[in-house]
Amino acid sequence: MTKEEYMGVQVSPLSYEEITQQLKQRVAQGEQSTIIAVNPEKIMKSQTDETLRDLINGSTFQIPDGVGVLLASRLKGGDINSRVTGVDMMDRLLQLSADEGYRVFFYGAKEEVVTKAIENIQQKYPAIQVAGYENGYAQDQEALIQKIQDSNADVMFVALGSPKQELWIRENKERLPVKVFQGVGGSFDVFAG
Ligand code: UDP
């Protein structure tokens, strides 16, 4: 997969459809994928924050969430011609999960926010299989890991804010059965309405 690079930071020039197609293939092959949203603010921060740059460049899909990235690509004659936002990517991934029967785990946000978000998502996608959830203020990390392992989740959304959520994914992904991780920031709040 060819990436575009802006000040040392990689961005995937792929549409929602292309990403969901690739995710479907990768899940079928048992490969893990991570999705991170990239905007100009994160690109600037990555100039001095090596950890953030590594988190972005180490992800499978760096989605161009922000018009600034689009403009940069246009000026450079790149292929990024539409935004891929974190919340819309999450919505596409929910649709894919409902269609394919992927089990989805939700981790993050306040208890009432994550439960309301799940309720609304179940209304929108009645076929969705909720593997489980945990609010973003869980104290016992080992219990959480056990819960995710037992849930047999295929897809996991982590809403702890950035870069906390990406650090969490990087630290824990190897011991989890999950195939697709997306750090989604405030998206549970959006789904909760
Ligand atoms: N959050 C959490 N645990 C924490 C810190 C934050 O669950 O320890 C949640 C918070 O409740 C909110 C989301 O993470 O739902 C942060 O969203 P924000 O819009 O700040 O993230 P961004 O999109 O800016 O990365």
Q: Per-residue DSSP letters for 44-93?
A: HHTTT-HHHHHHHHTSSEEEE-SHHHHHHHHHTT-S--S---HHHHHHHH
Region for residue 12 given its phi and psi (left: phi exceeds 0; alpha: psi -120 to 50; beta: otherwise): beta
Distance 13 CA to ligand 1 centre (A): 26
User: Which of 38, 189, 190, when mutated, tests ligand 1's pocket best, judged by the most ligand atoms within 8 Å of its CB?
Assistant: 189
Distance 184 CA to ligand 1 centre (A): 9
Digit-by-digit pLDDT tens for the chain (193 residues) are 689 999 999 999 999 999 999 999 999 999 999 999 999 999 999 999 999 999 999 999 999 998 999 999 999 999 998 999 999 999 999 999 999 999 999 999 999 999 999 999 999 999 999 999 999 998 899 999 999 999 999 999 999 999 999 999 999 999 999 999 999 999 999 999 9
Enter the tokens of residue 121: 């998502």
Domains of the chain: 20-192 (3.40.50)
| 108 and 159 Cβ atoms separated by less than 8 Å | yes
Compute CA distances 61 → 10, 18, 93, whole Å.
9, 11, 13
Query: Of the candidates 62, 58, 63, 151, which has an alpha carbon nearest to the alpha carbon of residue 107?
Result: 151
Tokens 């990436």 correspond to: 3
Distance 114 CA to ligand 1 centre (A): 11
Query: Of the candidates 157, 147, 152, which has an alpha carbon nearest to the alpha carbon of residue 121?
Result: 157
* Ligand 1 pocket, Cβ-based, cut-off 6 angstroms: 108-110, 113, 136-137, 159-162, 185-186, 188-189
User: Which of 65, 157, 160, when mutated, tests ligand 1's pocket best, judged by the most ligand atoms within 8 Å of its CB?
Assistant: 160
CB contact burial 121-159 (16+ within 10 A = b; e otherwise): beeebeebbebbbbbbeeeeeeebeebbeebebbbbbbb
Nearest CA to ligand 1 atom 15: 109
Residue 45 confidence (pLDDT): 97
40 CB contacts (<8 Å, ≥6 apart)?
Answer: 66, 68, 69, 72
| 44 and 9 Cβ atoms separated by less than 8 Å | no
| Identity of the amino acid at 91 | D
Residue 139 confidence (pLDDT): 86
Distance 110 CA to ligand 1 centre (A): 9
Nearest CA to ligand 1 atom 3: 136
The length of the chain is 193
Residue 2 confidence (pLDDT): 87
Tokens 């575009």 correspond to: 4
Provide the ipTM: 0.95
